[in-house]
Amino acid sequence: MSSTSNTNEQKNNTIAVEPADNELPGHTIVLGGTVPLKLASGQYLGPFTVAYQTYGTLNSEKSNAILVCHALTGDQFAAEKHPITGNAGWWDMVIGPGLPINTNDYFVICMNVLGGCMGTSGPKDINPETKKRYGLDFPIITITDMVAVQKLVIDYLGIAKLFCVTGGSMGAMQVLEWSSRYPEKVFCAIPIAGSARHSAQNIAFHEVGRQAIMADPDWHDGNYYEHDALPHRGLSVARMAAHITYMSDSALHRKFGRELQDRSDVSYGFDADFQIESYLRHQGSTFVERFDANSYLYTTRAMDYFDIAAEHNGILAASFGETSVKFCLISFTSDWLFPTSESRLIVHALNAVAASVSFVEIETDAGHDAFLLNEPEFFSILSGFLSGAAEQRGLRRVKID
């Protein structure tokens, strides 16, 4: 009974409209208009907008779709010039014709996460009830909520089963959530540089970032939109601190060492004497131009709350059950934010349920960010695993006319 009424509710709920005033390229749909989405917190959200991009062609059986989940500060523009920054897409080297995620073979979907504010609803957007921007009135969201929203969109696209779900870092959390919550909808899963729960150290780093934002007087308790202000100092510091955690000590030393920035001697002051300081300041200031500060609070919080075993009395293996999903976990040797040991815990849990699992640790000094960089070994693992899985899925090449 309840499942039938749920299905009907879902049907009404996924009647989507293309908003006329969409300034960003790509697709948007409005969901939760008739029946709001119940969030993990118990609060309800709706209507809300989801923005997504697609690359490649969906085959007639709708069996070649790959959902790419972006990381904390990524967005749906994974494989194209970013409409705001003008930079190449964050997975430009991975998604495309002839690339590891080959768009001649696969149909790639990348959605901006719930709370992401790059077209998908978040604290920057107008609350339909108050006609004012949400700010901190936006409900707290979780990885579970992000994935629940993605599933609504996948259902709307008529895709019964995703060929693959993949992503790095926060993207890997979404991959694990998909595999655990909707295993029947996932053929294979590639969580990259991820973990089954956010560690105390990682929560600590996030808290530093959030405190920096909230300590900025321009934050105005999250209502900076009303004050025509932006907490760019706070957000910039948050980004600078976070950026350090994405790199390894040896890579920092290799790139910057103790080299000075445009000077032959130290200034005996607090200017950015060192190249690393100048680099971080640049990272901070460019980030502010594209990312909403409240969105940063919400998405970091979603990661902090992630603990996939929590619903299963802390038993990670129970999160996956007797799963038919084929997993490929990838970690990087110099990643100290999401170290290999975190991936290995997941591998052990998957072994315990005799799941089909591949696990590779890539040797690199690039740190956590390695999944965004040119790592040939990583790329060959990605494409190799995908073609093996495609063979098992019975996928044939999409004909391009």
Q: Measured from the CB of residue 377, what is the shortest distance to another protein in angstroms?
A: 6
Residue 165 found at the interface with another protein (CB under 8 A): no
**Binds another protein (CB under 8 A): choice among 199, 278, 286, 356:** 356
Using CA of residue 8, residue 9, residue 10, residue 13, what is the dihedral sign? positive
For the segment 303-332, give every residue that binds another protein (CB under 8 A).
Answer: 326, 328
Q: Measured from the CB of residue 388, what is the shortest distance to another protein in angstroms?
A: 1
Residue 106 found at the interface with another protein (CB under 8 A): no
* Coil, strand or helix at 172: helix
Q: Measured from the CB of residue 358, what is the shortest distance to another protein in angstroms?
A: 5
For the segment 266-285, give every residue that binds another protein (CB under 8 A).
Answer: none
Residue 14 found at the interface with another protein (CB under 8 A): no
Specify whether 220 is catalytic: no
Q: Which stretch binds another protein (CB under 8 A): 119-127, 150-158, 163-171, 383-391?
A: 383-391
Q: Which stretch binds another protein (CB under 8 A): 126-134, 135-143, 178-186, 376-384?
A: 376-384
**Residue written as token pair 């080959």:** 102
Q: What's the gap between Cα 43 and its chain centre?
A: 22
Element containing residue 180 per DSSP (H, E) = helix 170-181
- Gyration radius from the chain CA atoms: 21
d(CA 350, CA 295): 33
Q: Give the side-chain half-sphere CA count within 13 A for 257.
A: 3
d(CA 296, CA 284): 13
- Residue 221: other Cβ atoms inside 10 A: 9
The token pair at 247 is: 């790199």
| Choice between 336 and 359, CB closer to another protein | 359
Specify whether 387 is catalytic: no
Catalytic residue among 335, 343, 358, 369: 335
Specify whether 218 is catalytic: no
Applying CB under 8 A, the residues found at the interface with another protein are 326, 328, 347-348, 351-354, 356-363, 377, 380-381, 383-385, 387-389, 391-392
